[in-house]
Chains A and B, each alone.
Chain A
């Protein structure tokens, strides 16, 4: 029997009185893709941090090749061949691709620019990404930044590669590419630990799967010996509602937003659709389809250069977010960390970031009482799990952060809600709750434009589905005529526009 490359032996981790991990045992064998599933807050990130040497276990120990090791710091972990890549890529925005890949290389005192560039290009080719290695990382998309991170791990001769929700922000096509890379690494003898909220990809990719819940190991099974239903039941310890089921449409006859031939020169063109009150329109497409850019144009961040937008029957030409907000449009960004929330600020302040002006009383002072009442109200209505609204929003789990983002925009009472990747990187329970909130908003007469790379989500929410490809509108598909294959085919240009 081969020894596990890396093993956790009854590892526990306490933070003060709180247990993040309790008696966790796990074995990673060379050549296997081992998936970990569990709700947010189940202890996955604590486990990763112990494997990568950032945390030290309170009790229990880590073994590498059967020998007990103590991993003090990420450098020690790397020397043992343990590397991790994350959903939010860890790149250096001011350095170029090649420099990013080889930042932790330690061989040689002098840099060999030529060799570095050549090796970086080779690694990129190995991953199957076309990426100019001279580009500065700040200009890369999330998917490209992730590729850089994988290349960095590859350059360090990884033996254990931990992938923490790597596909959460990728389009279907790129996610498939990434899974192919993960499989290839495993075939070369790397132990891959793969953490994902997307069950379909767990079943497609993994050899074995472990479920963890509340810091404890629940089960480890060969993928053939388990089913999605069993896994979900183990993860949540309860039945999950109709997450994948489409609910009845609440569309009315009143057109709220009418878009004709909208374009931003050099970015996208020819976008035309009507959005009615009570309707949810989902935009599907691969990364690079420029869906987010359409949302940003409607929200006035990058004003459209051509085309016509009518909102509530009147022409609308937002030149800034302020214009759009005044008109009654809210935009929930896909990038919580960068564009969505001020992580160090309290939940309360984040909620009123865009609407503070509505809380002004008398001589321009903020009515902190009203502000707090609103925040408490939303905390209850959106079921935001936080001890109080004064806690820094960065301390909450991803799902609860997403709800705070929604609260931030819902409290301005928008008529049109644009949501970019509404449930990226949040667990299934929170996903269902966010979907209910979106449906509820539409049912009360609002119109929703959703941008999502998660096809089941697109199908579960969209009354109609607008598919984009490389800056062009391919088709608008009614929900009853849509399925995953059809939308993928349109998004990949394999089916002509209907």
Chain B
């Protein structure tokens, strides 16, 4: 049994653990809430995950390099509004161009963050705390106290997230969700299989050694912020498609939610370790609990945030203990193997 656990890498074990915990939570609420486990729950969570998973993926890239991006919520808000305005004024614009516009706009905000963090060497928490406010104010200025409403948007855009790609019984897999999953999977494959992607981990794991190994840390960090901006831009597109009505408060608080999702998903806040699949599962878990608590009469509305906060603490504490145990077991096994090998020689 022990040996069996050790054959998996910590990252794989984390993901398995998240899946198990998610299943347990679903079972728990199913026993507490009548008519809980149905298609509506799945649809609600999957449409919300469609937006948040993209942001969490970008946030994961940033955290891997030992940085943080507090401005993603404002970037989502701005790109959502800007994308909505552009399509409202040019209803015949092609969907591809519109998505590209959102991505480039988000990436541009990322460039600002990245240059300030990587080249001006200002700590990311300060840079993005400032740009969070600046980007939001830019949105207020740009919007001129108007809102984008779904009436101004073309039908294809508003319908897109809800188109059913395929269904399994009650569970509908809709286009918005599937598109987000596709992006996350692409990011996952790129991050685990592309050689340059390993540099995100290297820079976050040991910046000094990264420099010694000839890695251009500043460029890596800049790219992480640009990619995070692009992901927030795509999330902005999803946001306008899903809600239709965009005001200046769009995306408010998303930065903290995305950090929570990444951390619950096993991304180390000290950088250097974590996966976007983990962050995706973290997003699902956070959203699942958020959604379920609304329908659970035992916990009043005021305590929902507290439960969520406690969950983040428990997740991270459990993860730390678990990884430490695992490292000990591995070291012990290596030690035993060494002794056995020595014994075999003599």
Residues of A within 8 A of B (CB): 52, 73-75, 78, 84, 90-96, 99, 103-106, 108-111, 130, 132, 134-136, 138-139, 152, 266, 288, 470
Contacts and interface: CB of A to CB of B under 8 A. Distances in A.
B214 interface: yes
Given A94-B204, A95-B205, A106-B195, 8 more contacts: A92-B205, A93-B205, A94-B268, A95-B198, A104-B213, A104-B215, A111-B192, A288-B338
B163 interface: no
Interface in B204-238: 204-206, 208-216
15 contacts: A52-B212, A74-B212, A90-B209, A91-B209, A94-B272, A95-B202, A96-B9, A103-B198, A104-B215, A106-B195, A109-B195, A111-B193, A111-B198, A130-B338, A139-B330
Interface in B327-346: 327, 330-332, 334-335, 338-339, 341-342
Contacts of A92: 201-202, 205-206, 209-210, 272
Nearest to A91: B209
Contacts of A103: 198-199, 202, 210, 213, 215
Nearest to A86: B212
Contacts of A108: 195
A370 to B, nearest CB: 35
Contact of B194 (A104, A110, A152): A110
B194 A111 contact: yes
B39 interface: no
A108 B202 CA distance: 18
B214 A74 contact: yes
B201 A470 contact: no
A132 B341 CA distance: 13
A152 B332 CA distance: 26
A112 B296 CA distance: 48
A132 to B, nearest CB: 6
A135 B272 contact: no
A90 B208 contact: yes
Nearest to A113: B193
A96 B206 CA distance: 13
B292 interface: no
A282 to B, nearest CB: 24
Contacts of B338: 130, 288
B214 A104 contact: yes
Contact of B339 (A95, A105, A111, A470): A470
A105 B338 CA distance: 30
Nearest to A470: B339
A75 B205 contact: no
A109 B196 contact: yes
A90 B208 CA distance: 8
A132 B208 contact: no
B100 interface: no
Contacts of A75: 214, 216
A111 B201 CA distance: 14
Contact of A99 (B198, B209, B327): B198
Interface of A is mostly: loop
Given A106-B195, A136-B327, A91 B332 contact: no
B283 interface: no
B10 interface: yes
A230 B272 CA distance: 48
B9 A134 contact: yes
Nearest to A116: B195
A420 B202 CA distance: 31
A358 to B, nearest CB: 33
- What 3 A-B pairs come out closest when comparing CB atoms? A75-B214, A94-B272, A90-B209
Contacts of B272: 92-95
A53 B212 CA distance: 10
Nearest to A105: B195
Contacts of A139: 327, 330-331
A266 B332 contact: yes
A132 B331 CA distance: 11
A84 B214 CA distance: 12
A467 to B, nearest CB: 17
B67 interface: no
B280 to A, nearest CB: 20
B194 A109 contact: yes
- Which of A103, A139, A470 has most B Cβ within 10 Å? A103
Given A103-B198, A130-B341, A132-B334, A90 B213 contact: yes
Given A92-B202, A130-B341, A135 B195 contact: no
B213 A110 contact: no
A110 B330 contact: no
A94 B268 CA distance: 10
Interface string B6-19: 00011000000000
B273 interface: yes
A153 B205 CA distance: 19
Interface string B178-210: 000000000000001111101101101110111
Pick from A92, A130, A139, A470 the residue with the most CB of B within 10 Å.
Answer: A92
Contacts of B9: 96, 134
B148 to A, nearest CB: 40
A91 B193 CA distance: 21
Contact of A93 (B195, B206, B331): B206
A74 B192 CA distance: 26
Given A92-B201, A92-B272, A93-B272, A136 B209 contact: no
Nearest to A138: B327
A138 B214 CA distance: 21
Contacts of B339: 470
Interface string B233-256: 000000000000000000000000
Nearest to B274: A94
A345 to B, nearest CB: 18
Interface string B260-275: 0000000010011100
Given A75-B214, A78-B214, A95 B195 contact: no
B330 A91 contact: no
A285 to B, nearest CB: 15
Of A94, A108, A134, chain B has the most CB atoms within 10 Å of the CB of A94
A74 B205 contact: no
Contacts of A106: 195
A160 to B, nearest CB: 15
B330 A94 contact: no
Contact of B193 (A104, A110, A266): A110
A32 B205 CA distance: 35
B273 to A, nearest CB: 4
A34 B238 CA distance: 63
A450 to B, nearest CB: 24
A75 B217 CA distance: 12
